[in-house]
Structure 1
Amino acid sequence: MSRTQGGRRVAGSHRGTGGRADARRAARRRQRAARPEQLRRLLPQALVVAALAGGTSAFVAEDKAVRLSVDGSARTLHTYAGDVAELLADEGVDVGAHDLIAPAPEADLVSGDRIAVRYGRPVTLTVDGERRRVWTTAHTVDGALRQLGVRAEGAHLSVSRSAAISRRGLDLDVRTERTVTFMADGREHTLRTNAATVAAALAEAGIALREQDTTSVPQESFPRDGQTISVLRITGREEVRDRALPFPTFRRADPTVLQGAELVAAVGEPGLERTTYLVRTVNGVRQRPRKLKTRVVRRPVARVVRVGTKPRPPLPVAGAEGLDWQAMARCESGGRPNAVDDSGRHGGLYQLDQGTWQDLGGHGRPQDAPASEQTYRAKKLYVQRGAGPWPHCGHRLSG
């Protein structure tokens, strides 16, 4: 049960609750039910006693006339209750933790007292976007706002100030008046507003957004008191940039081209890559471009080079031409370019040793070189030393 002391609400039960208090109240109710008949029978005796005693009787002194107001509905009644809580129980007035009772439930009753009960009403209150559940004993929205200490001057209310609040309560949305400043086009625009969104406040300030313009905070957000919001004037355009793509080069062996020669079969062409950027300016300041898309406009064409692998014919060696080199090769190696003697020291068509071969400008081993190169080196040796290097087959040169 709710109680108030000194103008404030308190929670708890009447001090007379419990078995003895309940029994006492029940006895009082039975007593009141039997009172009319008792009064009729005892009245003559009471008058005699009163005359003898020179005063009023004790049971008449217990009857009190009080004024009871329940949620604004008032009536005067007579009661034998000893305190406020007993009176409310006798009258069937149920009170809860959020209800207001004045005077306090434990206050003793005397004739002429005024007792007020005001029921609490739940209010789902949203003030500037912050939602909470509160209780009020006011009957109207205006009274609830005053009781709850909500500043409502210039505020937007979701329901009328004069709207009644039933015991079921209501939802109340309050948007107080706030000071908001917009920075737009180099100027300050300050206004008092109870707008629900930045966009609505912007419209109240008479500031229009064009195409890509926006604000420094989301336009659907709630404008706070003292907030400064910048208007961003934005222009944007697309910018295209091309980049050459290098072409690859492929080198391919070609047995139809002499060794040491290279022929370009395809010259090669660079490709083209095109990238589109979004270039924006915010309040006249150019921003870093943002890449939108990239595509290959033209693919590169490879450069192809033919590399000759065909052996070159042996160069003529003055003083060694016109001799029968084939006959001497058949004699030395059986005409086999890769022939090697039993010692492993001499090889090739003309059975040259490694040192001689290298002195003649050859690389590697003679038996690994082409037949034409072996003949060319042998001719150079002949010019230097005659047929001496081939004591057994040298005479075959002259037929």
Structure 2
Amino acid sequence: MSNNSMKNLFLGSLRSKQTVISIISLVLFVSVISFVLYQGTKKSVTLDADGEKIEVTTHAKTVEQLLQDQNIDVAEHDKISPSLNTKIVNGLAISWEQAKEVTISVDGNQSKVWTTETQVKDILKEANIEVSEHDSLAQGIDTEIGADNKIDIQKAFQVSLVDGVNKRQVWSTSTTVANFLKQQGIQLNEFDRVENNLKDVITPQSKITVVRVEKVIDVVEESLDFAIEKKQDASLQQGKQKVVTAGQNGLVTKTYEVVKENGQVVAKNLQSKNVVKESKKQVVAVGTKTVVASAATVSRGSSE
């Protein structure tokens, strides 16, 4: 092969390489420009996904498309702000709160609600359930709901409480009589009694009666009457009596256990009797002597 041929072949190969390099360079340039243009046309938004904030650049047209791009499945009860069909613009703030199912029990009757709220009071408000100051909640009204997503409410009702001579209406939830008395701060003394069974469960319009029982010792003194002994006296005219020995009353003390219920005496039981002073009997002479009229008296009467 001649030198010219070799030279031409070399130059042709060099031109081909230059062409390839030029094409590659052009492709790279176009790609870079396209990438820059692509990135430059993205919009920057802030996404608060269930409490976690992230910055997102996106070509999504709407909020719904952006959430789909972020693999977020929006359920029926989830809360989205702004709405799903809102168009994406720079600086847009998007909030997504995932709803949870909460079980609410009111006096044992359960209902289920979907909510994005976390505070017990907000969940109940959303469910249109009113709670009074007397109602009982397993958790505080101003606390966050627990991990079990359950709220237990016992509705209060009025109960009539008779404590001795005092009667009043009080609020209570369904519980036993024993627990109710404990909640009301009712202290039972040794002899007090409750008319209700302590294990019974109270219901609306129940009447709880506490009888205050008091036992006291009462010592009284009583006169012990003297006995009267009568003796016949032939020297005393019949029909007449004379006290020979004056009688004297004795003295006895009696000890009673007095039972009072709500301040009223209901029983008085004799515990003991003690004679402090014996009585002294009285002796009375009863006349038996009869009087016989004399003969002189009778004659005088006849002569007249």
- TM-score normalized with structure 2 length: 0.47
More strand by share: 2
- The structure that has the greater radius of gyration is 1
Greater RCO, 1 or 2 (C-alpha within 8 Å, sep 6+)? 2
- TM-score normalized with structure 1 length: 0.37
